[in-house]
Structure 1
Amino acid sequence: MADKIQNAYESSKNIYDDVLTQGNIFSKLYIKLFWNGTNDNDIAQKVLSYIPNDFSGNLLDVPVGTTVFTEHKWIALKDVHIKCIQGDVSNLKMNDESYDIVVSMNGFHAFPDKKKAFQETWRVLKPGGTFIGCFYIRGKSKRTDWLVNHILSKKGWFTPPFQTEEELRNILKEMYKQIDLHIDGSMVYFCCTK
């Protein structure tokens, strides 16, 4: 499974940023047809707005990806030191309760072991810390669900199983004391407090 995901990332990294930022007419058409016009740029800004501009604690960004949405935010955070570590989100090599914020943008729909990924991101988060992110959820659009199941999953870009809104709410309610969750088309974005 890890090889399939790695190969999918390698084969798509040259078009990923363009598709998500809708850099050309084909990307805009793809988003309009298959993602109901969901604007990843807007969702990214909403997710990143959960991080205070004067944040100076420990932040984990998993997966980092291409940083197409996060680069400017990370540069603006003057007291944040960035260190890149290659690893597996279902087995993070970080200490318990070591991060003030865990960010996951467009990651959970690709992670093979989502249950472990939720557990690990919770484990490394300090009490009172914030888990923020966004990803695909199923059940909001038949067209998007078809695309995810028949093309994106087969290519290795997405990995089942996928949660519905209700399933995700239940997972987050069991783990976090405060949840701010929003739906935009087939995408969810959220901010949770441990």
Structure 2
Amino acid sequence: MPNKIENAYKLSQNIYDDALTQKKWWAKLYNYVFWGGVDNLEISKKILSIIPKDFSGVLLDVPVGTAQFTVEKYAALPLSKIICLDYSEDMLVQAKSRFEKHHISNVQCIQGDVGNLPFENQMFDVLVSMNGFHAFPDKEKAFSETFRVLKNGGMFIGCFYVKGECKRTDFLVKNVLAPKGWFTLPFQTFSDLNSFLEKNYSTVNIYHEHSIAYFWCKK
């Protein structure tokens, strides 16, 4: 399964950013058909705005992807230490290039598996996971590992696909994106995710637009 996911993102690396930012006509069409016109940029701004402008702690971003939505935020956090992890080396190459272009020196990019994070317990003050959990093959392990490495009192910030909000999106995800390796079954409903977060985190703020859930929690 990991090889299938890695190959899928390797093949899509040249169109990944366009699909997220919707700058091209085909990307706008894809976004409308699959996601009902949800503005990924606005969602990312909402959740990243939770990180204070004077943040000086340690942050983990997993998966970093191409850093399309995070680069500007990280450029505004010069006092922090940021570690960006992704399973796809192709995504990491693009993310690293983007950070270098913006002259961000406090970011470290490493290849790794969210199901087996190479970090000590309670190492991070903030953990960011954007558009990742719907792709992770072992979601239970991913949730366990991200919880493990987050400090008590730390923030867990993220967004990803949830099923049950739109039958058309659910059908396309199950029959198009999942078989291609971009998404991996099983998927949570919004209610499932809300219940899980409330059970494991002391403070939970969770919302959704169409089939995209976004949240910020305190451990």
Superposed pair shares fold, TM > 0.5: yes
Q: Give the whole-Å Cα distance in 1 for the aligned partners of 2:107 and 2:25.
A: 34
- For structure 1, the residue ranges without an aligned partner over 5 or more in a row are none
Residue number in structure 2 paired with 1:73: 73
Residue number in structure 2 paired with 1:48: 48
Residue number in structure 2 paired with 1:192: 217
Q: Give the whole-Å Cα distance in 2 for the aligned partners of 1:145 and 1:158.
A: 11
Q: Give the whole-Å Cα distance in 1 for the aligned partners of 2:68 and 2:146.
A: 22
TM-score where L is the length of structure 2: 0.87
Residue number in structure 1 paired with 2:157: 132
State the shift of 1:43 in Å: 0.7
Q: Give the whole-Å Cα distance in 2 for the aligned partners of 1:55 and 1:18.
A: 30
- Paired residue type of 2:166: S
Deviation string for 1:164-184 (max 9, x for gaps)? 011111111121011000111
**Structure of greater relative contact order (alpha carbons < 8 Å, 6+ residues apart):** 1
Residue number in structure 1 paired with 2:37: 37
Instruction: Say whether 1:110 aligns with 2:135.
Output: yes
- Paired residue type of 2:25: I
Select between 86-95 and 75-84 the one with higher mean Cα deviation.
Answer: 75-84
- Paired residue type of 1:7: N
Q: Give the whole-Å Cα distance in 2 for the aligned partners of 1:31 and 1:100.
A: 33
Residue number in structure 1 paired with 2:145: 120
- Paired residue type of 1:47: I
Aligned to 2:13, the other structure's residue is in SS state: helix
Instruction: Say whether 1:13 aligns with 2:13.
Output: yes
Q: Give the whole-Å Cα distance in 2 for the aligned partners of 1:83 and 1:26.
A: 33
State the shift of 1:13 in Å: 1.1
Residue number in structure 2 paired with 1:58: 58
Match among 153, 156, 160 for residue 178 of structure 2:
153
State the shift of 1:82 in Å: 1.4
Moved over 4 A (4+): none
Select between 159-168 and 24-33 the one with higher mean Cα deviation.
Answer: 24-33
State the shift of 1:76 in Å: 1.2
Aligned to 1:85, the other structure's residue is in SS state: strand
Select between 78-87 and 3-12 the one with higher mean Cα deviation.
Answer: 78-87
Q: How many residues are matched?
A: 194
Q: Give the whole-Å Cα distance in 2 for the aligned partners of 1:4 and 1:183.
A: 28
Q: Give the whole-Å Cα distance in 1 for the aligned partners of 2:169 and 2:205.
A: 24
Residue number in structure 1 paired with 2:110: 85
- Paired residue type of 2:170: D
Q: Give the whole-Å Cα distance in 1 for the aligned partners of 2:126 and 2:78.
A: 16
Q: Give the whole-Å Cα distance in 2 for the aligned partners of 1:33 and 1:156.
A: 19
- For structure 2, the residue ranges without an aligned partner over 5 or more in a row are 81-105
Residue number in structure 1 paired with 2:202: 177
State the shift of 1:161 in Å: 0.5
Q: Give the whole-Å Cα distance in 2 for the aligned partners of 1:34 and 1:91.
A: 31
Aligned to 1:110, the other structure's residue is in SS state: coil
Deviation string for 1:116-170 (max 9, x for gaps)? 1001101000000000000000000111101110000000000010000111111
